C-alpha cells in the first residue's frame, strides 16, 4: 500500500507521496522577491525557517490567480530542503493498493514530474514525483532555505 496526500489545483486532482509531506497549513502572507523566477511566489517564515513558496498553479498549467484565504500550503521536503506548494484544497491522506497505481510513460501521462496515475472517487489523480518536480526547477538558480536554518542560500546545478 502507498499513502498519498491528495490535493486539487484548479479542476485537477494530484497526489504527493506522504513521505514527502511535512505538514499542511492554511495560507499566510507570502513575501514576494524582486526579480525572482516566475515559478517562485516568494518566501514564507514558518516557525523561524524561511521557505520558498512555489507558484504551483503555473507549474501545473492552471490559470493563475492571487492566493486566497481558502488556499492551503503543503510544506514538502526533498533532497535536504523544504518548499511550499500552494494548492486550492487538500482532500487528505488516501491509501492506494500498488495494483491501482499505474506507472505511465511520459508521453501518455504528461510532464516529466508526473510519475503515475490512479483513480479516486471516479476521477483521475496524477501522482507527482517531487524529486523530478524540483529537479526541473533547479536548472536555474533558486533560493532555498535549509530545514532549521534561518539563513537563505543560493543553490544551482
CATH number of residue 75's parent domain: 2.40.50.180
136-148, pLDDT tens digit by residue? 666 544 444 444 5
90-145, pLDDT tens digit by residue? 999 988 766 666 665 444 444 577 888 888 888 889 888 888 877 766 654 444 44
Q: Angle at CA 146, nearest 5°, toward 127 and 14? A: 15
SS3 content of the chain, % helix, strand, coil (to 5): 15, 50, 35
Strand 40-46 relative to strand 152-155, pairing: unpaired
* Better-scored residue on pLDDT, 154 or 138: 138
Position 134 scores a pLDDT of 79
Burial class, 146, CB count within 10 angstroms (exposed 0-12 / middle 13-18 / buried 19+)? middle
Position 113 scores a pLDDT of 76
Mean pLDDT value across the chain? 80
Q: Cβ of 129: how many Cβ atoms within 10 Å?
A: 17
CA gap 75, 100 in Å, rounded: 26
Cβ-contact 104, 124 below 8 angstroms: no
Position 14 scores a pLDDT of 93
How many structural domains are present in the chain? Answer: 1
Domain housing 135:
2-155
User: What is the share, in percent, of the chain residues with pLDDT greater than 90?
Assistant: 42
The answer to pTM > 0.85 is no
Burial class, 87, CB count within 10 angstroms (exposed 0-12 / middle 13-18 / buried 19+)? buried
CA gap 26, 121 in Å, rounded: 25
Mean pLDDT of 33-38: 77
Position 141 scores a pLDDT of 45
Amino acid at each position: 500500500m502507498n499513502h498519498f496526500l491528495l490535493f486539487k489545483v484548479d479542476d485537477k486532482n494530484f497526489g504527493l507521496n506522504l513521505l514527502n509531506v511535512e505538514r499542511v497549513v492554511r495560507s499566510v502572507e507570502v513575501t514576494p522577491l524582486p526579480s525572482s523566477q516566475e515559478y517562485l511566489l516568494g518566501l514564507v517564515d514558518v516557525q523561524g525557517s524561511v521557505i520558498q513558496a512555489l507558484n504551483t498553479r503555473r507549474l501545473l498549467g492552471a490559470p493563475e490567480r492571487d492566493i486566497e484565504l481558502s488556499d492551503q500550503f503543503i510544506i514538502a521536503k526533498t533532497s535536504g530542503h523544504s518548499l511550499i506548494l500552494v494548492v486550492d484544497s487538500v482532500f487528505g491522506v488516501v491509501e492506494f493498493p500498488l495494483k491501482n497505481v499505474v506507472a505511465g510513460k511520459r508521453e501518455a501521462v504528461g510532464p516529466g514530474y508526473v510519475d503515475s496515475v490512479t483513480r479516486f472517487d471516479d476521477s483521475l489523480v496524477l501522482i507527482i514525483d517531487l524529486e523530478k518536480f524540483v529537479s526541473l526547477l533547479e536548472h536555474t538558480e533558486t533560493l532555498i532555505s535549509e530545514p532549521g536554518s534561518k539563513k537563505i542560500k543560493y543553490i544551482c546545478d
